[in-house]
Structure formats: C-alpha cells, structure tokens
Amino acid sequence: MTESLSAICNARLPGQAGLFRLPITAGRFGAPQAQSHSKPQPVGEGEFDAAGQLVTAPFVEPHIHLDAALTAGEPRWNRSGTLFEGIECWSERKPMLTRDDVVGRAEQTLKLFAAHGIQYVRTHVDVTDPSLVALDAMLEVRERVRDAVDLQIVAFPQEGILSFPDGQALMADALERGADVVGGIPHFEFTRDYGVESVKILMDLAERHDRLVDVHCDEIDDPESRFLEVLAAEALARDYGRRVSASHTCAMHAYNNAYCSRLFRLLTKSGLRFVALPTENLHLQGRFDGYPKRRGVTRVPELLDAGLKVAFGQDSIRDPWYPMGNGNLLRTLDVGLHACHMLGMDRIESALELITDNGAAVMNLPEYGIGEGLPARCVVLNGESPYEVLLNQTPVRASIRDGRVLVQRRPETPEVAGWPDSPAGGALHANR
Ligand code: 17E
Ligand code: FE2
C-alpha cells in the first residue's frame, strides 16, 4: 500500500452542501473542514483529490457465503433455480473442500469486493460438515486479509442444527474455534417444532459465548413460515435485539397485512436488524408460483419506515444458488430499489445507507463513519449525489483505508466515434 495521506480534499459529503477537506492524522480523521470554494481546488502534496465527488464511509457487505463462492456448476448446475436444489448441489461439492480451495476462492472474491470499495464483510460459513475445513480456512483468511477488510464469520448450519447429525455440537465447536456470529436456518429444519427449538438453541449459544446472531430466517415463499416472530420474541426477552439480524425474511413478502401489522409491533420493540438479498431472492423465490410470480424480497420500505435498520447484501458470487455476481454492491442496490418500489426521489437520496450505515448496524461495527477520531476509511464514488452514483453504476474511484489508498481507478470517458458536438444536455443531478 501507499504512504499515508495527510487529507482528502474536494470531498462532497452526503446531505451536506459544498466541499470538504478531511484531515488525516495517524490513520484517523480529524474534524471535516468546509472549503471556501464550491469548485474543486488544486490539492497539496500527500493529499488525495476527491475531485468534487461524493465520499462516503466504505461499503459494507453484510451477507455473503465465501466458502461457496465461485463454485457454480461444480459438480453440477442448479437446474430448478430453487434454494433447496442449491443446498443439494452444495452438499455434493462439500466433500471436495480443502483448505487451499476455500482460501483461494474466498480471497479471490474478497479482492473483487475490495476493488468495489467494500471494507467490511460478514460471511456465513457452513458448519454442517464434521471436518469444519471451510470454517478453519475462513478463520485463517480473516487474519490474512485484515489490512484490506474486516471479516466477520458466521457459524452457519446450512443443513440444520437439529436436522443434521451432531448439528448442535458442530455449532458449539465452531464458536469455540473463533466464529464471531451464531447462524441458523429454521425454515430448513425438518419440522416447525425443530425450527422453533433451533432458534432457542442458537440464542442460548450466542448468550453463552457472547456473540452476535444472524439467522437465515424464512427464506421461503411459504406464508406459514413464521420463525421471524420467534427470533424477535427471543431477542426481546433476552434484551439482545441490537445484536441480532434476520437475513432474507422472504416469507414476509407473502404474509397477509393483518399479520404483518401485528408482527411489526414486535419487530420494533425488539430492535432486530434486517438484511435483504434482492438479486439472490428475485432469482430463488417465486419458483413454485404460476403467474403472477412473487418477488420474494422482504418488505424493505415498510421496515425502514418503521425505523428498523435494513441492509442489502449480495448473498452469492457464482455459487450453487446464484450463477451471477461481480462484487459491485451498486448493482445489488439498483436491483433492490427496483424490486422494492423504491425509486421515489426521497428513497434514492437515502439509498446509499442500505449498503453503508445500515450494513454497519447489522455488523455492530464500533467505529464506522466519516467523523473526527474515526479510522480514516472511505470510498470516493462516481457522482456528486446519490442519484448520480446510482445512475452511473460505475465502480468506486477510490477506496481509502486507515489513511492509505487501497484502490484507485481513473474515471473513464468513452469515446463514441463520429458523434456530433451536441449542446449541453439535461443535468443528471437534477435534484441539487
Ligand atoms: N444458503 C442458503 O440457505 N440460502 C442462500 N441464499 C445461500 C446459501 C446463498
Ligand atoms: Fe445467505
């Protein structure tokens, strides 16, 4: 990495007028200083020029499965496109896992994420494997990549805590080995009773080991799948809500509104956090529907309007569940805003919180944001407003970590041959 910077200049900050200089000392931000000119100014030696573009805290990937990344088609393709066939394909790939296989694919994926401005990642690692080879490999990766990314590891029981042989003991073992977060998958357990019991078991484990919780919860179109209420009630009773995330919650898309109204009362009391995986669940859900087909993405705007924290994540990068993915969270955000009817200008203006602040809330990051005394970590985006950034969809211009440039990209200007010299067109940032 490069020398430490002394400041980032010509930075535009979300929701604030004008340009700022963000001083950096010993890898931490000083207080942002408003610049007197509204146009970018030349920068000094050792300063980074944000060129009037939007600067935010680094992107957060709150939900990915790195152990399965880049295994799509191995040993066979998921033909139905369902979650359950994905789990079958994965259980055929699992016996082939080795330390080098997992470390190689995970680090290749994390490098892709780093190039897209992601500096915080929560990965689920399947622990329904008596060898725990993927878990051990990922614990190693967590240390190997720490200069570039903060990695949180979820002990994730892909084939169930009660439905997989020794599932409970494997979870406990994974936590003892150093997993940061307790996972679960109640909708996959053989029975509803197992599902409820699994939630109690995983909450007990979390309390006992003082860990965070992130449950794959109701990733199914079945409106009768109601494990979210169990998780929220457990979190509330144990006063643990801020440390608990519910991922997917696809069934909420199919719940009736009367039930949702009752459920939201509990959700707001519990303070649970949410992760929606719009690209993944648009692909996996609705598979048993005729037309019209459900979108299967949880009720994002309603959760946000209830004051709850919702983050977007990618879930997969070319694995048995999802053959696509390129590491660009702006793509996930774009798809999610479309799927959730969130293209009103007020939603667009606050959209970046879905891949920044709310992800940080899910991960319980203690020192996140741009502010005096916080680690000098940020990304320089392509655009002067969230609207422009979303329209451009271009990967970040720069990612800065602890005052050093981790990633830098020159902005591209495509040349279109023979194009006439047109008069200035409509401003993209119409809202400013
Ligand atoms: N495992 C699971 O249960 N659900 C998913 N969406 C993925 C893995 C990617
Ligand atoms: Fe997942």
> pLDDT of 108-121, one tens digit each?
999 999 999 999 99
Q: Is the CB of 280 under 6 A from ligand 1?
A: yes
Do the domain assignments include residue 293?
Answer: yes
- pTM score: 0.97
Which residues, including other chains, have CB under 8 Å from residue 367's CB and lie 6 or more apart? 374, 375
Q: Which of 315, 317, 319 to mutate to test the pocket of ligand 1 (most atoms within 8 A of CB)?
A: 315
Residue 87 tokens read as: 């789990």
pLDDT at 327: 98
pLDDT at 431: 46
Domain that holds residue 248: 59-362
Do the domain assignments include residue 428?
Answer: no
45 and 167 part of one domain: no
Residue 215 tokens read as: 């449950």
Which residues, including other chains, have CB under 8 Å from residue 318's CB and lie 6 or more apart? 69, 70, 71, 72, 324, 325
Phi, psi of 94 (to 5 degrees): -55, -45
305 and 202 part of one domain: yes
The strand pair at 404-408 and 398-401 is best described as antiparallel
CATH of the domain at 33: 2.30.40.10
Residue 74 tokens read as: 């191995």
Q: Is the CB of 316 under 6 A from ligand 1?
A: yes
Q: Where are the alpha helices (DSSP H) in 145-274?
A: 167-177, 192-209, 227-237, 251-254, 257-270
**What residues pair up with 217 in beta bridges, in sequence order?**
248
Q: Which atom of ligand 1 is nearest to the CA of 316?
A: 9
pLDDT at 181: 99
With beta carbons less than 8 A apart as the criterion, state whether 27 and 1 touch: no
Q: Which of 216, 277, 285, 312 to mutate to test the pocket of ligand 1 (most atoms within 8 A of CB)?
A: 216
97 and 195 part of one domain: yes
Q: Which ligand is nearest to the CA of 69?
A: 1
52 and 63 part of one domain: no
356 and 384 part of one domain: no
Q: What is the pLDDT of residues 339-380, one digit of tens each?
A: 999 999 999 999 999 999 999 999 999 999 999 999 999 999
Residue 406 tokens read as: 């981790």
251 and 169 part of one domain: yes
pLDDT at 432: 45
Q: Which atom of ligand 1 is nearest to the CA of 315?
A: 9
Residue 349 tokens read as: 């203006």
Q: What is the pLDDT of residues 180-220, one digit of tens each?
A: 999 999 999 999 999 999 999 999 999 999 999 999 999 99
Give the CA distances from residue 141 to residues 98, 128, 313, 389, in Å, rounded to whole numbers and listed in that order.
Answer: 13, 19, 20, 31
Do the domain assignments include residue 353?
Answer: yes
Residue where one domain finishes, among candidates 328, 362, 396:
362
Q: Is the CB of 216 under 6 A from ligand 1?
A: yes
Do the domain assignments include residue 425?
Answer: no
285 and 390 part of one domain: no
Separation of first and last alpha carbons in the chain: 36
CA nearest to 331, candidates 148, 152, 122, 112: 112
Q: Which atom of ligand 1 is nearest to the CA of 321?
A: 9
Q: Give residue 414's pLDDT band: very low, low, confident or very high (50, 70, 90).
A: confident
Q: Give residue 424's pLDDT band: very low, low, confident or very high (50, 70, 90).
A: confident
150 and 289 part of one domain: yes
CATH of the domain at 281: 3.20.20.140
In one-letter notation, the amino acid at residue 418 is: G
Q: What is the pLDDT of residues 227-283, one digit of tens each?
A: 999 999 999 999 998 999 999 999 999 999 999 999 999 999 999 999 999 999 999
How far is the C-alpha of 118 from the C-alpha of 108, rounded, in Å? 14
Distance between Cα 324 and ligand 1 center (Å): 14
Q: Which of 64, 87, 275 to mutate to test the pocket of ligand 1 (most atoms within 8 A of CB)?
A: 87
Asked whether the predicted pLDDT for residue 426 surpasses 90, the reply is no
Residue where one domain finishes, among candidates 335, 362, 389:
362
| Active site residues per annotation | 219
Which residues, including other chains, have CB under 8 Å from residue 12's CB and lie 6 or more apart? 18, 19, 20, 50, 52, 53, 54, 55, 384
Q: What is the mean pLDDT of the chain?
A: 96
Domain count, the chain: 2
**What residues pair up with 380 in beta bridges, in sequence order?**
55, 398
> Which contacts (CB < 8 Å, 24+ apart) does range 427-430 have?
428/383, 428/387, 428/388, 428/391, 429/383, 429/384, 429/385, 429/387, 429/388, 430/387
Residue where one domain finishes, among candidates 337, 362, 387:
362
Atom 4 (ligand 1): residue with closest C-alpha?
Answer: 83
Do the domain assignments include residue 418?
Answer: no
Give the CA distances from residue 366 to residues 266, 275, 402, in Å, rounded to whole numbers and listed in that order.
Answer: 26, 19, 15
251 and 380 part of one domain: no
Q: Is the CB of 65 under 6 A from ligand 1?
A: yes
Do the domain assignments include residue 181?
Answer: yes
145 and 34 part of one domain: no
Do the domain assignments include residue 197?
Answer: yes
Asked whether the predicted pLDDT for residue 1 surpasses 60, the reply is no
224 and 353 part of one domain: yes
341 and 381 part of one domain: no
Concatenated DSSP letters of 63-107: EE-TTTTT-TTSS---SS--HHHHHHHHHHHGGG--HHHHHHHHH
Distance between Cα 335 and ligand 1 center (Å): 18
pLDDT at 78: 98
pLDDT at 430: 47
- Annotate 2-20 with three-state secondary structure: CCCCCEEEEEECCCCCCCE
Do the domain assignments include residue 429?
Answer: no
Q: Give residue 427's pLDDT band: very low, low, confident or very high (50, 70, 90).
A: low
Q: Which atom of ligand 1 is nearest to the CA of 281?
A: 6
With beta carbons less than 8 A apart as the criterion, state whether 102 and 91 touch: no
Q: Is the CB of 321 under 6 A from ligand 1?
A: yes
